Amino acid sequence: MEQLFILFDHIQRLSDPLREYIFSVLRRKEIKKKGIILERGKVSKYIYFIEKGAVRAVRFEKGRERTAWVMLESNIVVSVESFFLQQPSTETIEALEDCILHCISYEELYEAYRLFPEFNLHRGVILERYYALSEARNRMQLKKARDKFEELMTKQPDLVGRVNDRILASYLGVTPGTFSLEKKRFAKGLKNQPA
């Protein structure tokens, strides 16, 4: 939970009353690998912070499973439309590893905004950050397979080797075979670079 307060304090130090409020309402959840955090069709009641582990969002497009995003420690995860509009989710959020999460409910979060107007700065900065990440993921989908893999290796290299290649292929929108070829090509390119 300390990591969450570090995230907040990097934006602007939380006042003691706000810190105490958040501390009092945060719930710790342990989710086992392959555990479902949010099931498609259910309304998201919580927003989560990952203390430990890896999480992904899965959507179904044309009858096929598609990984929309993957997040690791020190990130906030949420089914955006479901949580903020309080409507059924179009995605499933699943643990890729054993996870330790901290969550706050929709009602508790909005009560924090009401009681502590300074917390709206944190909300704005965090929403901007994650909106920019979403836009970057959307732009990546328009690229060729080789460029997608190179972007993954430059912007999210910690996913490779930690997250199953099949899931990463789904995240990039390429076949597992194409992902494997690009991974080998990339590794070969690194071996051929001068030291």
Superfamily of domain 2-116: Jelly Rolls (2.60.120.10)
Tokens of 119: 């917390």
Look at the chain and count its residues: 195
Q: What is the DSSP string of 63-84?
A: TEEEEEEEE-TT-EE--HHHHH
Judged by average pLDDT, the poorest of 6-10, 57-61, 158-162, 188-192 is: 188-192
Higher-pLDDT residue of 141, 92: 92
Q: pLDDT confidence of 15, banded at 50, 70, 90?
A: very high
Q: What predicted TM-score, i.e. pTM, was given to this entire model?
A: 0.89
Token couple for 45: 């009641």
**Strands 76-77 and 27-31, sheet pairing:** unpaired
Closest CA to 168 of 129, 137, 131, 194: 137
How confident is the model over 93-121, as pLDDT tens digits?
999 999 999 999 999 999 999 999 999 99
For the cut 60, the answer to whether the pLDDT of residue 194 exceeds it is: no
pLDDT at 187: 83
How much is the pLDDT for 137?
87
Integer angstrom CA distances of residue 65 from 42, 147, 170, 183 = 18, 22, 8, 21
Per-residue pLDDT at 80: 93
**CB contact at 8 A, 94 and 37:** yes
Per-residue model confidence as pLDDT tens digits over 70-79: 999 999 999 9
Section 161-169 average pLDDT: 94
Place 191 in a pLDDT band, splitting at 50, 70 and 90: low
